[in-house]
Structure 1
Amino acid sequence: MATLAEPRPEQAANGGLHLKHWREKLPDDALDHIPGEGGWPIVGNTLKMLADPYGFTRRMVATYGPIYKNWAFGGYGVILVGADANELVLFDRTKTFSSEQGWGPILDKLFPRGLMLLDFDHHRADRRALSIAFKPEPMRHYSGSLNRGIAETVKDWGDKPMQFYPAIKELTLELAAESFIGLPLGPEADKINQAFVDMVQASVAPIRAPLPFTQMRKGVKGREFLVDFFTRETHRRRAEGGGQDMFSQFATATHEDGSLMPVDQVVDHMNFLMMAAHDTITSSATSLIWLLAANPEWQVRLRDEIVSVTGESGNVDYDDLGKLELVEMAFKEALRLIPPVPSTPRRALKDFEFHGYHVPAGAQVAIQTQFVHHMEEHWPEPEKFDPMRFTPEQVKSRHKFAWVPFGGGAHMCLGLHFAYMQVKILMAQLLTRYSIEIEEGYKPDWQAWPIPKPKDGLKVTFKSL
């Protein structure tokens, strides 16, 4: 169903690359043979897609099949749908797809040179240098900080109605600051949080230029603030000789030849990873809390497992994290139902074939994680919350790329184990203290883009046990 075409003669001389930068456009007729639609004048289908990405994809697949073209964010893209599409693009055996050029139109002004926006040898070298921050000893250090920070905060959440999303966002930023930066944010906390909010919102702003009073302008200003903050901190860490926190690990990271990573690269990586560490975890933790509130029988099952591992304390030793198997399965199911990144863009560097259609080099392409996570061929009763889908037997019997909330292949999320650790510790601290309750009939409306969140903040009450 998915095959790679032979490079055309004019491609062979430069290793298969056809268009070297995402700003270079394909000829107007290059995608005429692929079914799809352009939508409204100027904005295309951008607003429809942002309003209901799952519903929009479902309609397009029903109309055009598992490959179609769609006009959004200023140009046509080719959408590939299915677990086999996920495997083709993410595993990328033949280096056909550029992550840098795929994310470029969306993130180039906001998170340039973040790890997700690098390709091939450059990506491999920086990933290797940065991976030191996720080795067992630093992770053990982070786990202690997470247990202390989460316990101190959630003890005050009991027996009062609250909006969970803003509360957990504030907490995850504080935790990221302690684990990643190694210091409390203090008076700059609100400015740092607002900078990340503005940058993430700008990533899907319809107006892509940083014109006065636009969301993109706010995002660019937020980046300027964070670049200044992290540049000062990088120089300070190097002068002081490092530490166990992630930022110190990055600031003193070296390449294979022993050279330090340039300061501007350290800053770009910290910008991107801090966003991922608190925005995506905020989203996924919120979806898990909502699903446990709506399925209270699973609260009981997770609580029983947590107590069997931690006793009544809720403090999870680093070496015991792997024992919280049901908690991990519930988290994976939440990531299936509401993945923090609903779709993933790439750009084709070589011609390829998918479901009988030839896609030329230079085409913007995307896979649809959220849609595949709800396909009945992989997930019977796909709207049902059922963590037992992630038993080893179930996982083994399913297509490996039917579940890809952390991406896959070379670009698999570097911090996925940190995400598992933080959510497990959060669940342990909450469920040993409280039951999660919502009003009868309550169901939040979710904003799908750029990172899913409940529009009303998720109204819950943590009732003391």
Structure 2
Amino acid sequence: MATLAQTPPATPTHWTEGNPTEGDLSHIPGEGGWPVVGNTFKMLADPHAFTKRMVETYGTVYKTRAFGGWNVALVGAEANELVLFNKDKIFSSEQGWGPVLDQLFPRGLMLMDFDHHRIDRRALSIAFKPGPMRHYSGSLNSGIASEVDKWEGEMLFQPAIKQLTLDLAAESFLGIPWGPEADKINTAFVDMVQASVAPVRRPLPFTKMKKGVDGRAYMVEYLTKETLRRRKEGGGQDMFSQFVTATHEDGSLLEVDEVVDHMSFLLMAAHDTITSSATSMVYQLAKHPEWQEKLRDEVFAVTGGPDGSGRPRPLDYDDMGKLELTEMAFKETLRLIPPVPSMPRRALKSFEFGGYRIPAGTPCGINIYWTHHSTEYWDDPYTCDPMRFTPDKVKARHKYAWVPFGGGAHMCLGLHFAYMQVKVLMTQLLQRYRIEVEEGYAPAWQEWPIPQPKDGLKVTFVPLS
């Protein structure tokens, strides 16, 4: 098997062969937008407003042309269930995400289908068993406590939590403190994620895609060397060491390039999506101090509050499940600002939905943000209310009305790690500070590819005593 360093990025045309023409989709309502670029720039400028207008104009099944081709949007909880549950194996995640991620995060779990996905997911799941998770819990408690202790006063939260999640990923995922590589790795991730929605899909000089492809090359070199070193010298309980020793069903080790690809993808997923969701939750708690106080009361009840010397107590791994209201508030945050606002797929065979026949080869997409804000499933959907996630309300609602972690076979492998990291963060923050923002503060958000406040989120951490 060729090593990653020898494997060239896929060309954009690889993913467009067999795509439907405008004529193939003539029976489906929608619009193509401007010549050449279609609706690409309209979607990037304000994706949620674009989706809202398209649904109001054409309904919950519509076609649009963007990023070089036609695709069909399938919007709503029923569409989410059809695509994510994928009972009849109609939809390819690999061919859906491929045009977006293949030059940057090839062969990650999201870019695998069916048996290949099942086999690799089973091998990688060893890293999320109770033993390793308990180890990560200890690393998260110590790492978060050390950093949060420095956050008193006014600050920009998003850059701070981004750096912290990178540092935490280094210890929990890689088992090492960041050295001189820190800035390069952070830059590589930023460039790779931004390139995922770059209008120019070829790595031409001075383009976002070129910076993204260069970032991937750096990550491949770094992770390949680390994989070979771990296999020679042994590793610890960190996630990377778990991957290095993971085996296929026949007992054989994963190939080095497989380990590198999965590690690169999961580092990106954990780093950027947790940064986004933690930033969103801090903003919601600052805007809603009544909920902040309720969560603080719960944290104090579970941990016992600061110790005799005034130091916040850590959150024990066995107490994670006791932070029920904190989890509900996190779920409401993910509803309001899902870190992955939409998900692409490609139809492997023709199917019918919403009264339309969609031909094989059609790129399709579901819109998580729209569903999370639809009055069909949510009362007053733009209001923050964690009580939407009481067991009785969850049971009464469509199962696929809330899908920030995806669903079906491709449900996020690290979702429990995300819950754990956010609960530890909230435990440390709420035992130390009141989180405040200026009255009337409402930052503008960059919506794609992963939501974040454009100004970095201006908050003040006020000591409790």
Is the Cα–Cα contact under 8 Å of residues 19 and 363 in structure 2 kept in the other structure? Answer: no
* 2:124 aligned partner: 130
The aligned residue for residue 147 of structure 2 is 153
Find out whether 1:165 has 2:158 as its counterpart. Answer: yes
Work out the CA distance in 2 between the residues paired with 1:423 and 1:101.
Answer: 32
Q: Find the partner of 1:208 among 201, 224, 228.
A: 201
Deviation per CA, 1:183-234: give whole Å up to 9, x if none.
Answer: 0111110000000000000000010000000000000000000000000000
Aligned to 1:187, the other structure's residue is in SS state coil
Q: Is the 8 A contact 1:36 1:68 kept in 2?
A: yes
Asked if the contact 2:20–2:70 (Cα under 8 Å) also holds between the matched residues in 1, the reply is no
The 1:314/1:331 distance shift into structure 2, 3 A limit, reads farther
Q: Unpaired runs of 5+ in structure 1?
A: 1-19
Offset at residue 27 of structure 1 (A): 3.9
Rounded Cα–Cα distance in structure 2 between residues aligned with 1:291 and 1:48: 28
1:189 aligned onto 2:182: yes
Written as runs of structure 1 = structure 2, the 5 A alignment for 1:241-256 is 241-256=234-249
Match of 1:112 in 2: 106
Partner of 1:174: 167
Query: Structure 1 residue 331 and structure 2 residue 330: aligned?
Result: yes
Shift of 1:356: 0.6
Contact 1:302 1:327 in 2 (8 A): yes
Q: 1:48 maps to what in 2? A: 42
| Structure 1 letter corresponding to 2:203 | P
Secondary structure of 2:180's partner? helix
Report the alpha carbon displacement of residue 422 of structure 1 after superposing the two structures with TM. 0.1
Q: In 2, distance between residues paired with 1:242 and 1:358?
A: 52
Question: Following superposition, which runs of at least 4 residues in structure 1 exceed 4 angstroms of deviation?
Answer: none
Paired residue secondary structure (1:432) = helix
Aligned partners of 1:306 and 1:314 also within 8 Å: no
1:144 matches 2:144: no
User: Alpha-carbon deviations, 1:150-182, whole Å to 9, x = none?
Assistant: 000000101x21100000000000000100000
The SS at the match of 1:186 is: coil
- Identity, in percent, stands at 71
Q: Distance in 2 between matches of 1:295 and 1:336?
A: 16
2:75 pairs, out of 81, 89, 99, with: 81
- Of the three residues 290, 295, 301, the one matched with 1:297 is 290
- Over 3 Å counting, the alpha-carbon distance change for 1:331 and 1:129 in structure 2 is same
Q: Are the counterparts in 2 of residues 307 and 314 from structure 1 also a CA contact under 8 Å? A: no
Q: Find the aligned partners of 1:109 and 1:414 in 2 and give their Cα distance.
A: 22
1:283 maps onto 2:282 in alignment? no
Q: One-letter code of the match for 2:155?
A: M
Query: 1:348–1:362: 8 Å Cα contact kept in structure 2?
Result: yes
Query: Secondary structure at the residue paired with 2:162?
Result: helix
Equivalenced residues, count: 446
In structure 2, which of residues 255, 266, 275 is the aligned counterpart of residue 273 of structure 1? 266
Would the alpha carbon gap of residues 89 and 307 (structure 1) be closer, same or farther in structure 2, given more than 3 Å must change?
Answer: same
Q: Which residue of 2 aligns with 1:97?
A: 91
Counterpart for residue 379 of structure 1: 378
Tell me the alpha carbon deviations over residues 96-125 of structure 1, each in whole angstroms, 9 at most, x when there is no partner: 000000001111100000011000000000
Shift of 1:21: 5.3
What corresponds to 1:38 in structure 2?
A: 32
SS at match of 2:181: helix
Where structure 2 has 5 or more consecutive residues not aligned to the other structure, the ranges are 1-13, 306-311
**Structure 2 CA distance, aligned partners of 1:95 and 1:22?**
20
The CA distance in 2 between the partners of 1:22 and 1:58, in whole Å, is 27
Calculate the TM-score normalised by the size of structure 1.
0.95
Distance 1:140 1:193 in 2: 26
1:12 corresponds in structure 2 to: none
Structure 1 residue 445, shift from structure 2 partner: 0.4
Q: Once superposed, what is the RMSD of the aligned Cα atoms?
A: 1.1
CA gap of 1:378–1:314, structure 2 versus 1, over 3 A, is farther
Provide the C-alpha distance between the structure 2 equivalents of 1:222 and 1:354, rounded to a whole number of angstroms.
40
Corresponding position of 2:232: 239
Note the C-alpha offset of 1:26. Answer: 2.5
How big is each residue's C-alpha offset from its partner over 1:33-92, in whole Å with a ceiling of 9 and x where there is no partner? 111001111111111111211111110001000100011111110000110000000000
Once residues 41 and 416 of structure 2 are traced to their aligned partners in structure 1, the CA distance between those partners, rounded to angstroms, is 34
Aligned position for 2:432:
433
How far apart, CA to CA, are the structure 2 residues paired with 1:298 and 1:92? 37
| Counterpart residue type for residue 118 of structure 2 | R
- Alpha-carbon distance between aligned partners in 1 of 2:413 and 2:16, rounded to the nearest angstrom: 25
Structure 1, residues 239-289: CA drift from partner, whole Å, max 9, x if none?
Answer: 123320000000110011000000001000011000001100000000000
Counterpart secondary structure, 1:179? helix
Asked if 1:261 is matched to 2:254, the reply is yes
> Distance between the aligned counterparts of 1:431 and 1:184, measured in 2?
26
Under a length normalisation based on structure 2, what TM-score does the superposition of the two structures give? 0.95
Structure 2 distance, partners of 1:55, 1:377, is: 18
Bigger drift between 236-245 and 168-177 goes to 236-245
**Alpha-carbon separation, structure 2, partners of 1:100 and 1:414:** 16
